[in-house]
Amino acid sequence: MALDDRRQSLTESRLSTMVVPDVGCTGKARDDALARLRSMGLPQGRDEYWKFTKPDTLVQPDAPKAALFEDGEPPVFGEVDRLKVVFVDGVFAPELSDDLSLEGVQIDRLEDVCCTDDHWAEDLYGVLETRGQTPVARPLAALNTAYAGDGVTIRVTGKPSKPICLTYVHKADDSDVFLHHVIRVESGAEATILETGPAAARFNKCMEIDITDNGTLHHIRAQGRDHERRAVTHMFARLGADSVFKSFTLTANGVLTRNECVIELTGDNGIAHVAGACVGDGDFHHDDTVFITHDAVNCESRQVFKKVLRNGATGVFQGKILVQPGAQKTDGYQISQSLLLDGDSEFLAKPELEIYADDVACSHGSTSGAIDEEAMFYLRARGVPHAIATDLLTLAFLAEAVEEIENEDLRDDINTRLEAWLERRRG
């Protein structure tokens, strides 16, 4: 179908300022992505999937500036023994990164994916993104596949002794960054991937994750605290039989964040959990858009999203569970909740279930509420001042999402961080 004039001119004006980079052996995938993008066009506010989140600033040619946030805090995951892979404004920084060799995992830069040596990622770059374009178009992911200048490919073949930590440093106040990572977890392998940092004034990140039979991947991310930063991120995950994918995201600050997560359970007995905790204050818009497809028997999926909002902050949740014909014994769970700390803040939720199998258990729920006054009085009657009680109840509200992090050290790191942020805000 041809695009309407407005969408076409929007799309072409964006593309006219950009150059497709010549990185590794991804040329064909980039050409295909461009064609895909041109056929769907960039998103507009009237699109069904962009009704709650204005795409304008993610789509316009120049990135709106974002001041750097100097918090003077130790970096997230700083206390965790990890392999650091650092990007500064979207460019891999070897001098800040650790040696990329680690037993059980092969890490390369995207530019090392050369045709000559038959690199494994060659057949994966853009593939899961393409699969994720139906039934819902995700044009900003296609834009990423076409234009991403850097990124890493991670192939997990064993059980690496420590997490791989992708660290995104934001340096220039007008940086406009595309990163694209490709991850494959081989049969029986298991790894943890961490992500931290604001990355850029405007950040477009795409992660393709292929977990083969019996593979396990843990993913924990802390999005940077720069108030004015914007980010649109996509995760496309495909899970084989008996595989496990567990992802958690912490977001505090950021004028605009759209995190899309597309998961396909293609083999029996797969498990996919995706969770998010977000704390928004003031000029803050946070959107979790999740689409999980059950296409095999006896798989489990779980979505747990919690948002604490105040001073006019906005939270959005669009979450879908699609159970394909034959995907019997599906166990699907979805919960999205907001804690509104005042009357100015807003939570918009669109939970969806679409089920074509008859022997499944799927549940979903969405709530918006204020602080529990009974609990507040109980805390205050014990001497806990109102502001501290609010923070305690905030942490308690977020706990169900944070508890999705299996590793105790990483969970503690996230909790400690949250506590410190809330305490700082209290002053």
Partner 1 sequence: MLEIKGLNVDLEEEEKTILKGVDLSVEAGKVHAIMGPNGSGKSTLSYVLSGREGYEVTGGSATLDGEDLLEMEPEERAAAGLFLAFQYPVEIPGVGNMTFMRTALNAQRKARDEEELSAADFLKMVREKAKTLKIDNDMLKRPVNVGFSGGEKKRNEILQMAVLEPKMCILDETDSGLDVDAMKLVADGVNALRDQGRGFLVITHYQRLLDHIKPDVVHIMADGRIVKTGGPELALEVENNGYADILAEVA
Pick the piece of the chain touching partner 1 (CB under 8 A) from 141-149, 164-172, 351-359, 372-380. 372-380
Helix (H) or strand (E) holding 388: helix 386-402
How far CA 410 is from CA of 85, 163, 372, in Å, comes to: 18, 10, 29
Among 207, 231, 263, 393, binds partner 1 (CB under 8 A): 393
412 interacts with partner 1 by CB under 8 A: no
Number of residues that bind partner 1 (CB under 8 A): 23
Among 298, 351, 392, 407, binds partner 1 (CB under 8 A): 392
Q: How far is residue 276's CA from residue 274's CA, in Å, rounded to a whole number?
A: 7
**Is the Cβ of residue 193 or residue 398 nearer to partner 1 in the bound state?**
398
**Is the Cβ of residue 99 or residue 374 nearer to partner 1 in the bound state?**
374
Among 48, 358, 373, 408, binds partner 1 (CB under 8 A): 373
**Is the Cβ of residue 70 or residue 373 nearer to partner 1 in the bound state?**
373
Amino acid 189 reads A
Among 5, 95, 118, 374, binds partner 1 (CB under 8 A): 374
3-state secondary structure of 137: coil
52 interacts with partner 1 by CB under 8 A: no
Residues in contact with partner 1, shown as a per-residue x/- string from 319 to 358 under the rule CB under 8 A = ----------------------------------------
Q: How far is residue 273's CA from residue 405's CA, in Å, rounded to a whole number?
A: 10
Q: How many other β-carbons are positioned within 10 Å of the β-carbon of residue 328?
A: 16
Choose among 73, 95, 71: nearest CA to 84: 95
Among 52, 317, 397, 421, binds partner 1 (CB under 8 A): 397
**Is the Cβ of residue 72 or residue 427 nearer to partner 1 in the bound state?**
427
Helix (H) or strand (E) holding 210: strand 202-211
396 interacts with partner 1 by CB under 8 A: yes
250 interacts with partner 1 by CB under 8 A: no
Parallel, antiparallel, or unpaired: how do β-strands 300-310 and 331-340 relate? parallel
Among 27, 45, 94, 385, binds partner 1 (CB under 8 A): 385
388 interacts with partner 1 by CB under 8 A: yes
Among 399, 407, 411, 412, binds partner 1 (CB under 8 A): 399
Among 377, 409, 424, 426, binds partner 1 (CB under 8 A): 377
Pick the piece of the chain touching partner 1 (CB under 8 A) from 125-133, 175-183, 222-230, 375-383. 375-383
Buried b (16+ CB within 10 A) or exposed e, 104-124: ebbbbbbbebeeeeebbbbeb
Q: What tokens were used for 133?
A: 């374009």
Choose among 298, 291, 229, 305: nearest CA to 263: 291
Q: How far is the CB of 415 from partner 1 (least distance, A)?
A: 11
Q: How far is residue 245's CA from residue 237's CA, in Å, rounded to a whole number?
A: 8
3-state secondary structure of 170: coil
382 interacts with partner 1 by CB under 8 A: yes
401 interacts with partner 1 by CB under 8 A: no
Q: What tokens were used for 158?
A: 């064993």
Q: How far is residue 79's CA from residue 96's CA, in Å, rounded to a whole number?
A: 17
Q: How far is the CB of 396 from partner 1 (least distance, A)?
A: 3
375 interacts with partner 1 by CB under 8 A: yes
Write the DSSP symbol of residue 226. -
Q: What tokens were used for 382?
A: 């014990």
Q: For binding to partner 1 (CB under 8 A), which residues are involved?
A: 372-375, 377-386, 388, 392-393, 395-400
